[in-house]
Amino acid sequence: MKYVNWTRMEDGTKEEFDLIMDLEERANADLVDRVLEHLKLLDVDWGGYRINRYQHSLQSATRAYHDGADDEMIVAALLHDIGDTISPYNHGELAAAILKPYVSERVHWIVANHATFQGYYYNHHLGGDRNARDRFKDHAWYGDCVYFCHHYDQNSFDPDYETKSLDFFEPYVRRLFNGKNTHLELNLAAE
């Protein structure tokens, strides 16, 4: 394997950065596989819920699919809780960060803020403000996030709901993630 000569990026040459980008692209070729494997980490019984977070994620995506949502929204519904395993208190922001290079600003915002909006259904039972989402009342995508939570998230804990498998959704994830698939494209999209 080739290596660069520098120890500080500022000393690198174009050829060395071309090498690094080529090696990173090769390493990232299995990104979708890693994301799907991480989603499967939700397939444990956390207690209390009638289904686990993995089944909840599949059910959310199934509901989005049956609702006629586009690929971005279906994948967002599938991955919206992916951060629960390592970032439970800001899992929406983590999921949104994973999706950001591949989805619209609207879908990114919905996923990033869904936890606040989801609190509408339970915060008042725990001594919190169920209307915390109203701080976004004037935001252009407020209604979209309300819709996401009401139709795809809060109602997706039903053990009797006929839920599609991850194999069904894998092509959706691959299409979405393959839409922009180079380091440079993703960096330019972030600007």
Ordered by start, the domain boundaries in the chain are: 9-190
For residue 50, the 8-state DSSP code is S
Match domain 9-190 to its CATH number in 1.10.287.610, 3.40.50.720, 1.10.3210.10, 3.40.190.10. 1.10.3210.10
pTM, full prediction: 0.90
- Digit-coded pLDDT (tens) for 17-51: 999 999 988 888 999 999 999 999 999 998 899 99
How far is residue 135 from each of residues 93, 107, 116, 129, 139, measured CA to CA in Å?
17, 19, 10, 11, 9
- Digit-coded pLDDT (tens) for 71-82: 999 999 999 999
List per-residue pLDDT tens for the chain, 191 residues long: 689 999 999 999 999 999 999 998 888 899 999 999 999 999 999 889 999 999 999 999 999 999 999 999 999 999 999 999 999 999 999 999 999 999 999 999 999 999 999 999 999 999 999 999 999 999 999 999 999 999 999 999 999 999 999 999 999 999 999 976 555 555 555 55
Distance (Å, whole) CA 5 – CA 13: 9
